[in-house]
Structure 1
C-alpha cells in the first residue's frame, strides 16, 4: 500500500501494484518491480560487472566521497553512484565470466584543481616515496592544496586511504609499509584537493608496483574451471562419438539421454565458470 504524503496531488510513498514510490535525495522517484526469472547471459554479465565494481570501491569510500561528492551536489545522485557508474562502464576489462578491473583506468576523483607535474613513485625497503613538482604557475596560489593518496591491494581486495598526507608545497610524501604489503601487488593513485575542500583534481594513476599477481579467488576459479573443462572434454568425446555411430536404438536409449543432458549441463556450466585461461 502507498501513502499520499501531501494529499491526493502529492507524491506517493510505498508500493502500488508493481510500482514502488520513494524519495531519493529530496526527489520523488518511482521504479517498477518485475518477476525474477532465470537470468540471461547479459544479466549475469551485468551482475558480475556490478560485483567487481562494488568490490573495487568498498575500500575507498572516503576517497570517493571527496573525489565525486562535488559533482553529486544538486543532483539526485550521490558520490558512490557516480563512481560506480563510471567504473562499471570504463574501468573493467574482459568478458563474462572473466571480468576484472583495469587499474590504469580507475579514476577516484574528478575536478578542476590542477594535477602536479613530474609525479613519481619509488619503492624502498620500508615503504613508498611519492614526489611531485610543488610549483604552480597561475593566478591562483595552490601551495596549500591537500594531497590524497590511495593504495589498492588487489590480492586481498583491500586498500588504504591517505586523505591528508601532505601539502602540495612539500613536493613529496613517504608512506611506510610492512614487508607483507611491500611484496603485494600495489595500485597507487594521487589527487589534490583545495584547502577549503571546495575543489578537487582528477586523480592520477601512479603505475603498478610488483606486477600483476594472481589472487586466491582467481586461483580457485582457475582450478574449478580446469576441473569442469576436464569432465566436459571426457563427456563431449563420448557424446560426439555416439552421435557419429548413428545407431537409432542407442540414440533413443535412456543412457544416451542422460549423457546428452550431462553434456548440455556441463557445456552451460563451462560458459558460466570464471577462470578460463587467457
Structure 2
C-alpha cells in the first residue's frame, strides 16, 4: 500500500506494485523491485562482493568520510557515506572473483578543492605515527588554519585510529597516537586537510603501509 500526500496527484509513500516510493534527504524518490530465478553471472557476483567489501571497509572509517565527503554530498540526495562508496567502489577492489580485496593505495577518504599536503612524510615513533608536511610561513591565512586529518587502518585487526581535526597546516606536523596493543601491527595510513569552518576538504593521500 502507498500513501499519496496532497491528494491523488501528490507524492507517494510506500509500495505500488513493484515500485517503492520513499523520501530521501527530503526529496521523494522511487525504486523498482525485481525478481528473477536465473542464477547470477560471475559479473553480478563480482559486483555484489565488490560492493560488500567496499561498503564494509568504508563503514569502519565512516566518521572520517562523513567529514571527508560532506562537501561532495552537499546539494544532492546522497549522504557522505554513499558518496564515498560510489567514489571508491570502481577503483579500490583488486583480484578476481571470489578472491577480491581492498587495494589500499587507491582508497580515497576525502575529496575537495583544498590544497593537498606537500613534501609529506610519515614515520613510526614510540607513541605512534609522526606526520610532517611542508608549511610555507607566507601561506594565506585561510590556508594556514586548515587542520590535518590522519588515519591508520589495521586490516588484520579490523581496527581504525584517526584524528579528524589535528594541528593546523602552518604547524607542519602532528602525531597520530597509536595504542600499545596495535603498535607493530600491519597498518595502512592516510592524511588530508579540512577547512577550519568544516566546509571543504582536500583529496586524501595514501601515506603508506607499515609493519608488512
Q: Same fold (TM over 0.5)?
A: yes
Cα 1:150/1:83, change in 2 over 3 Å? same
Partner of 2:117: 116
Matches within 5 A, 1:86-101: 86-101=87-102
Runs ≥4 residues deviating over 2 A? 36-43, 136-141, 175-180
What TM-score results when the alignment is normalised by the length of structure 2?
0.93
1:138 is displaced (CA, Å) by 5.4
Q: Is the 8 A contact 1:59 1:160 kept in 2?
A: no
Aligned-CA RMSD value: 1.6
CA distance in 2, matches of 1:16, 1:119: 55
CA distance in 1, matches of 2:3, 2:142: 53
Distance 1:77 1:178 in 2: 35
1:83 partnered with 2:84: yes
Higher relative contact order (CA 8 A, sep 6+): 2
- Are the aligned partners of 2:162 and 2:176 in contact in 1 as well (CA < 8 Å)? no
Q: Is the 8 A contact 1:189 1:205 kept in 2?
A: yes
Q: How does 1:1-278 map to 2 (within 5 A)?
A: 1-35=1-35, 37=37, 38-135=39-136, 141-211=142-212
Quick check: which one's strand share is greater?
Answer: 2
Q: Counterpart of 1:255?
A: none
- 1:173: how far off? 1.0
TM-score, length-normalised on structure 1?
A: 0.72
Distance in 2 of aligned mates of 1:102 and 1:67? 19
For the 8 Å contact 2:117–2:192, the answer to whether it is kept is: no
Q: How far did residue 64 of structure 1 move?
A: 0.6
Q: How many residues end up aligned between the 2 structures?
A: 211
Deviations 1:182-202 (A, max 9, x none): 221111111111111111111
More helix by percentage = 1
| Contact 1:115–1:192 (8 Å) recurs in 2 | yes
